[in-house]
Structure formats: C-alpha cells, structure tokens
Amino acid sequence: MATLYIHIPFCRRICSYCDFYRVGAMSLLPNLVPQLIAEMEQRAEYIADKRLTSIYFGGGTPSLLPPEEIERVISRARELFDCSAVEEITIEANPDDLMEEYVARLAATSVNRVSLGIQSFDDAVLEFMNRRHTGVEAEEAVARLYRAGFRNISIDIIFGIAGYGDRLADTLRRAIALDVGHVSAYHLTIEENTRLGLLERRGEYQPVGEERSEEEYLAVHNALVAAGYEHYEVSNYAKPGCRAKHNSAYWRGVEYLGIGAGAHSFSRDNRTWCVSSAKEYCEGVFRYEGEELSEADHLNEYVMTALRTAEGIDLGLVASRFGDSEVERLLRLAESWIEASALKLKNNYLYIPAERFLLSDAVIESLFL
Ligand code: SF4
C-alpha cells in the first residue's frame, strides 16, 4: 500500500515566508498535466503492489488547475494503480481561487477533501505575508465549499508572527467558527531564501522569542482542544473521524510516489526526488536524484515522525520491523525523559504529551540510532 502525491509548482504570487519549490511562470501551466500523466506512467512501478490509499495534490497552488484537468490525472491514476482502497483525494487550494463556478466544477470531480491555505483572518497579517486574499474572502470560500457539498475541509493557519501576537485570538475564534473538520497550525519559520529572510538579514524583522512562541503554541493548542479538536500531530488538529489520511500515512512510514518537479518519493529501499525545473518538466524532461536508505535511516525516520504524533512510537511495530534489541535501546534512552515527563509509556507506545510537542526536538534526536 502506498500514497500518491502530485506537485503543482505554480503560484500567482509568492508569499513572504515561503521557500517551497514554486514558480510564477504561469504560461507553462497548460503543459503541466500531460507531463504529470507521462511521468506517472513512467514511474508507476515504483509502488511494488500498485495499491494506493490516498491521492494528494499539493503545491504550489493546485487550485490554479481547472478541475477537469485534476480529474484527468486522477482518472489516469485509477488506470495505473489499484485505487479501490482510496478514501481520500485532497487538493490544496488558495481561497481566492474558490469562486462559485470553480467550486461547482470541483464538486463534480473525485476530489473529496480541500485543504485551504488561509494562514490568518487578519488582513494586516495577510498583507504582511503577501497573501492574495482577505480574511472575509477566506470565510466565503469555506462557505462555498460547504454549499457545494464538501464536508472534508482543512484550513492552515500560521502563528508566531512578530508584532501580530495580539491578533491571534481573533484568527482562532474565526477558524473555530467555521467548524471545519481539520486545522493545521504552523509556527512561522524564517527561511533564508524568502522575503522574510531578507527582512531579517536587514534587521527589519525580528523573529518572536522562545517564550512568546511557546505562549502562542499553547494558545492555539488550548483553543482548538477546547473546541473539540484532537491534537494528533505536532501541527495538526482534527475533529473525530477527520484526521488527514494522506499525512497520517507519511507519519506511519508508508511508501509514497511523488510526481512533479520537486516531488519526493519514498520506498523501503530509497528516497528519490525530481530535480527538473518547472520549465524542463513541462517540456517532458524528468531528472532525478536519490539516496539509498539503510535500516538505521528507516528507524530514525520512524522515530522522528512517530514522536510528532499523539500515538507516538509503536514498540510492537519496532520489535517486528527492527528487532527486540531496538525496543530495549529505545526504552533505555527514554528513561530520563520519562522521569522528566517529556515522554510517556502507555500500552506499549512511547509518546510525547501534546503540550510538550513544541519542545520535542531534543527528545527525538536523543533516540536516534
Ligand atoms: S501559495 Fe503556498 S506555495 Fe505558493 S508561495 Fe504561497 S505559501 Fe508558497
């Protein structure tokens, strides 16, 4: 079983914090779908049993594609893979692409989950981030999705923005009022090759301090948990039954095939990624790089992703995949963290309590092989 990720690396406007691989050359967009299908045909063998559990269109901005083009990719995937177990097909969308007519056409496709990059409901924050929508437009986009019949909706928000901390409560209130099934909440990070990185280097932006970060993290955690969301991964909250199936598969170490310029793929043996530029890609040139993965790589990857989830490390799974000696090693290293309440052991799972997720890096690194 595996998941399929399709990367749409185009954005109309570049957000000030973003260092994902994306380009603004919209003239290339019409050539993209035929190449995505061509690459998928070439790479289908990467998934040994050809069985998928979810499909995810990420970006960039997948909602720049006409819904019918998205459906073309899904239809080809159904021919190439066994999709009988696929329950979730997600598209990431920008609120201002979700006009009435677009949403109606999207509702006629197989897409059954929409993940909206809202980030904030505060217009000053949105302007600071160089987003192309307002808070009210984001609320209207969610309302249109509901009216069109979408029930599986996720929204992204960002906190930890210096100078705007007092506006976070209003964003949380408006996020909760939308009553969507899933919320992803990320702390703003300053990456070098971004507008914010430049502002920081010039001394025109100072990131928030550790104490403020923790306060805002807990404000988000407490507000969402009080509203009935389960904090099931460091950045993810879900109402009952609304956990992201695609992302949860990543965290369980399930194999995935990534299609598109910049997309990564992961199997038992290796990790590969397509290094083509969007221009090369749209001309049908697919270039790859990769690395072999050892058992230690797999174990470390599992420790890292599992400890960021509410369930934590399944010691039974570690025993069956990596041997009893690995379980003993993990338990030995975990002892001092358990004493400090930074780790808990219950029902053969080793996990970090959700309110300590933000401080989890030191714990995770200490358990690496
Ligand atoms: S829309 Fe998303 S991918 Fe595009 S620049 Fe903004 S954050 Fe980055």
Quick one: pLDDT at residue 359? 74
What is the band of 351 on the pLDDT scale with cuts at 50, 70, 90? very high
- Tell me how far CA of residue 174 lies from CA of 157, 231, 357, in angstroms: 11, 18, 24
Cβ count within 10 A of residue 368: 12
pLDDT digits (tens, 9 = 90+) for 77-112: 999 999 999 999 999 999 999 999 999 999 999 999
Whether 355 has a pLDDT exceeding 90, the answer reads no
Ligand 1 contacts (CB < 6 A) are 11, 14-15, 18, 20, 22, 59-61, 94, 117
Q: Best of 8, 18, 131, 195 to mutate for ligand 1, by most ligand atoms within 8 A of CB? A: 18
In terms of Cβ atoms closer than 10 Å to its own Cβ (0-12, 13-18, 19+), residue 248 is buried
Average pLDDT of the residues in 316-337:
95
Distance, CA 186 to ligand 1 centroid (Å)? 14
Q: Three-state DSSP class for 308?
A: coil
Atom of ligand 1 nearest to the CA of 13: 5
Q: In this structure, which residue's CA is closest to atom 6 in ligand 1?
A: 15
Q: Which domains does the chain have, with CATH numbers?
A: 2-249 (3.20.20.70), 308-369 (no CATH)
The pLDDT confidence band at residue 25, using thresholds 50, 70 and 90, is confident
Mean pLDDT of the chain: 95
pLDDT, tens digit, 9 for 90 and up, residues 63-78: 999 999 999 999 999 9
Query: Does position 22 have pLDDT exceeding 90, yes or no?
Result: no
- The answer to whether the peptide bond before residue 160 is cis (omega within 30 degrees of 0) is no
* Of 8, 12, 14, best ligand 1 pocket probe by most atoms within 8 Å of the beta carbon: 14
Which residue's CA is the nearest one to ligand 1's atom 3?
60
User: 36, 259 in Cβ contact below 8 A?
Assistant: yes
CB 55 within 8 A of CB 40: no
pLDDT digits (tens, 9 = 90+) for 145-196: 999 999 999 999 999 999 998 999 999 999 999 999 999 999 999 999 999 9
Q: Which of 98, 126, 120, 95 is nearest to 15 (CA)?
A: 126
* Cα 327 off chain centre by: 29
Query: Which tokens in the block code for residue 219?
Result: 């404000």
- CA 18 to ligand 1: nearest atom: 8
Ligand 1 centre from 12 Cα, in Å? Answer: 9
CA dist list (Å): 149 to 75, 292, 349: 21, 44, 38
CA 9 – ligand 1 centroid, Å? 9
**Ligand 1 centre from 96 Cα, in Å?**
13
Ligand 1 centre to CA of 157 (Å) is: 13
Question: Burial level of 59, CB count in 10 A (0-12/13-18/19+)?
Answer: buried
Burial 106-137 (b: 16+ CB within 10 A, else e): bbebebbbbbbbbbbbbeebbebbebbbbbeb
Q: How close is the Cα of 196 to the center of ligand 1, in Å?
A: 14
Q: 61 alpha carbon to ligand 1 midpoint, in Å?
A: 7
Is the distance from CB of 310 to CB of 232 less than 8 angstroms? yes
Structure tokens given for 120: 């904030």
Return the residue whose CA atom lies nearest to atom 2 of ligand 1.
60
Which residue among 11, 19, 118, 186 is best mutated to probe the pocket of ligand 1, counting the most ligand atoms within 8 A of its Cβ?
A: 11
Q: How far is the CA of 260 from the centre of ligand 1 (A)?
A: 16
Q: How far is the CA of 176 from the centre of ligand 1 (A)?
A: 23
Ligand 1 atom 8: the closest Cα is on which residue? 18
Neighbours of 48 (CB within 10 A): 11
Cα–ligand 1 centroid distance for 18 (angstroms): 6
